[in-house]
């Protein structure tokens, strides 16, 4: 059973470009979470999605950031018109709904560098 898969692992963008980060949850997981981690800092919650629904986006900036988790395919975190302050590691995590053990399974992260 493959773990949470994130790609790309590293992404370099120039200011003003768009960044798309993908996350495929573990098989059987229908809950996806995105977190941002700045260097030497903790995890900051961004958004929580279930299939085709955004459950909680309270941690996501209102502008330039969006997320989706379609019925088919990976979850996508999209950052438009990136700025240097968007440089960070973005982690995706997934969990099951039924038979919940409570554990979040994390991907290896996508490191975004904005030049």
Partner 1 sequence: AQTVTQSQPEMSVQEAETVTLSCTYDTSENNYYLFWYKQPPSRQMILVIRQEAYKQQNATENRFSVNFQKAAKSFSLKISDSQLGDTAMYFCAFMKAASGTYKYIFGTGTRLKVLA
Give the binding site for partner 1 (CB under 8 A).
31, 33, 35, 41-43, 45, 48, 50, 55-56, 89, 91, 93, 95, 97, 100-109
Q: Report the candidate in 5, 85, 78 with the shortest Cα–Cα distance to residue 39.
A: 85
Question: Is the peptide bond preceding residue 43 cis, with omega within 30 degrees of 0?
Answer: no
Locus of tokens 């330039």? 64
What is the smallest separation between the CB atom of 9 and partner 1, expressed in angstroms?
Answer: 10
Q: C-alpha angle with apex 79: 73 to 84, nearest 5 degrees?
A: 145
Cβ atoms of residues 43 and 104 within 8 Å: no
What is the smallest separation between the CB atom of 73 and partner 1, expressed in angstroms?
Answer: 22
Of 65 and 91, CB closest to partner 1: 91
What is the smallest separation between the CB atom of 24 and partner 1, expressed in angstroms?
Answer: 15
What is the smallest separation between the CB atom of 11 and partner 1, expressed in angstroms?
Answer: 15
Of 24 and 95, CB closest to partner 1: 95
Determine whether 57 is exposed, middle or buried from the number of CB atoms within 10 Å of its CB (0-12, 13-18, 19+): middle
Of 42 and 63, CB closest to partner 1: 42
């Amino acid at each position: 059973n493959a773990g949470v898969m994130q790609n790309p692992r590293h992404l370099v963008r120039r200011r003003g470009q768009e960044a798309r980060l993908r996350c495929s949850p573990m098989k059987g997981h229908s809950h996806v979470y995105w977190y941002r981690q700045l260097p030497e800092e903790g995890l900051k919650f961004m958004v929580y999605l279930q299939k085709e629904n955004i459950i909680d986006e309270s941690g996501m900036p209102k502008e330039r950031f969006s997320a989706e988790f379609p019925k088919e395919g990976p979850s996508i975190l999209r950052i438009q018109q990136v700025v240097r302050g968007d440089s960070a590691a973005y982690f995706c995590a997934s969990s099951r709904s039924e038979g919940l053990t409570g554990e979040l399974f994390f991907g290896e992260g996508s490191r975004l560098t904005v030049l």
